[in-house]
Amino acid sequence: MKLHGIKVPHKKNTADSKPVRMTVPKTVTIPMSMHIGKPAKPIVKKGDIVKVGQLIGEPDGFVSSAIHSSVSGKVAKIDEMTSSMGMKVQCITIESDGEQSLYEGIKAPEVTDFESLKTAVKASGVVGLGGAGFPTFVKLSIKDLEKVEAVVINAAECEPYITSDTRTMLDNSDYIFKGIDALRKYMKVSRFIIGIENNKKQAIEKLKELADKTDDVEIHVLPSIYPQGGEKVLVFNTMKRVIPKGGLPLDVGAIVINVTTLSFVGKYLEDGIPLIEKCITVDGSAIKDPKNMIAPIGTSIADLVEAAGGYKCEPRKILYGGPMMGIAVPSDAEPVLKNTNAIIAMDEKEATPKKTTACIGCGACMSHCPFRLDPREIARAYKLDRGEELEKLCVDLCMECGCCSFVCPANRPLVQTNKLAKIKLRAYQTKKKAEAEKEGK
């Protein structure tokens, strides 16, 4: 079996840009939902004085995440905001006192076994920092550790523009290996695979230098083919195993963790400072001086861009993340989130979609799809409202990577149609299940 993909422009303009720490903004707005799962529950109130690293939102369920203050100051308000995904979420706005006083209760966690490691990771508030936002604690909540044959460390960073993971590998590689040490010791894992694209030569050299000091860390240098960083793609290309439909990496003996997430875990075990800031690539055709910035979580995009040097023209579109899978934001008033690895601001020319024409039946979309789905047939079944066909076409396998739209000579919005088709499929399956239950009564 061969997984397919596409060649995208790398545009890694900031790979040599050492992260610059921005001045603390006057205010931060911290959403209670910056992760997959249930939003956190605010545990502070308006007028409270908080410090850096203090818990302000506690997990509200198993799949949830702790949220901490990224600045010291006063809670100005607890309100609602509309997220970039269109959902109403609670948020806490804090007026910074500019002092960045660290919360007195912060200390390195005591870890003696796997259970205490999981407790520490949960308390840190870390989620998938490659963009997915899945609570890391939940990923590590494995009942049978013997199922874990390998930890696959995702260092592919295959999207154009983004270099924040690259900077982790260059600037914080020691913490990556401290994270590996913890997993080796407490999870009893004996194989670690770092999957990295071959366009990151400096990072490869740095990682190989450290891996050579171990017996169980492998560096897999992979072709620069998007979407190399997709979980299923990465597991196949490093372990030659196929994650089944609806399955998880654990079903084939793997855990996949982002390289920056692992680096954070290594650092947290040393100093106990929770997830309160992010290294973010600020780039795109509307950015005056592209660079990597370190910003407190909750910083507005406007403040971040200004700290990076500002816009060189009015942006037509701003994205959380890269141009392939990034999410467009309604304005630059939106805050930096836990899983924000890049802010890409595009000018009029770059952001204006090309004119769409009729499908010419070339099949390029299917031949470049990593899972060989057929976006042409999916679009047809979606238009005709045929849920059964969408199910047979396995549209729910689509990872929304955008390969199909990228290669389409007719510039058809195929990935957007796939997203809508998945919603239609879920509605069909819900209706089918309800009808089956009714007949069974």
What's the pLDDT score for residue 439? Answer: 81
- Residues 122 and 261 reside in one and the same domain: yes
Q: Which of 231, 252, 271 is the last residue of a domain?
A: 271
Q: In b/e form, how buried is each residue of 412-421, taking b as 16+ CB within 10 angstroms?
A: bebbebbeeb
CA gap 441, 437 in Å, rounded: 7
What's the pLDDT score for residue 440? Answer: 72
What's the pLDDT score for residue 130? Answer: 84
Total residue length of the chain: 441
pTM: 0.94
What's the pLDDT score for residue 71? Answer: 98
* CB contact set of 185 (below 8 Å; sequence gap of 6+): none
- Residues 136 and 243 reside in one and the same domain: yes
Quote the longest CA-to-CA distance of the chain.
65
User: Does residue 180 fall inside a structural domain?
Assistant: yes
CA gap 100, 307 in Å, rounded: 18
User: Does residue 171 fall inside a structural domain?
Assistant: yes
CA gap 77, 291 in Å, rounded: 32
Q: Which residues constitute the domain of residue 400?
A: 364-440
CA gap 359, 377 in Å, rounded: 11
Q: Which of 240, 271, 302 is the last residue of a domain?
A: 271
Domains held by the chain: number? 2
Taking only the tens of pLDDT, the chain with its 441 residues reads 455 789 999 999 999 999 999 999 999 999 999 998 999 999 999 999 999 999 999 999 999 999 999 999 999 999 998 877 778 899 999 999 999 999 999 999 999 999 999 999 999 999 999 877 899 999 999 999 999 999 999 999 999 999 999 999 999 999 999 999 999 999 999 999 999 999 999 999 999 999 999 999 999 999 999 999 999 999 999 999 999 988 999 999 999 999 999 999 999 999 999 999 999 999 999 999 999 999 999 999 999 999 999 999 999 999 999 999 999 999 999 999 999 999 999 999 999 989 999 999 999 999 999 999 999 999 999 999 999 999 999 999 999 999 999 999 999 999 999 999 999 999 999 999 988 888 875
- What's the pLDDT tens digit per position in 385-432? 999 999 999 999 999 999 999 999 999 999 999 999 999 999 999 999
User: Does residue 317 fall inside a structural domain?
Assistant: no
User: Does residue 8 fall inside a structural domain?
Assistant: no
- What's the pLDDT tens digit per position in 186-237? 999 999 999 999 999 999 999 999 999 999 999 999 999 999 999 999 999 9
Q: Where are the alpha helices (DSSP H) in 96-230?
A: 114-124, 136-139, 164-171, 173-187, 201-211
The bridge status of strand 150-154 relative to strand 192-197 is parallel
- Residues 261 and 145 reside in one and the same domain: yes
What's the pLDDT score for residue 36? Answer: 87
Residue 151 sits in a domain of what CATH number?
3.40.50.11540
Q: Which of 229, 252, 271 is the last residue of a domain?
A: 271
- Residues 126 and 229 reside in one and the same domain: yes
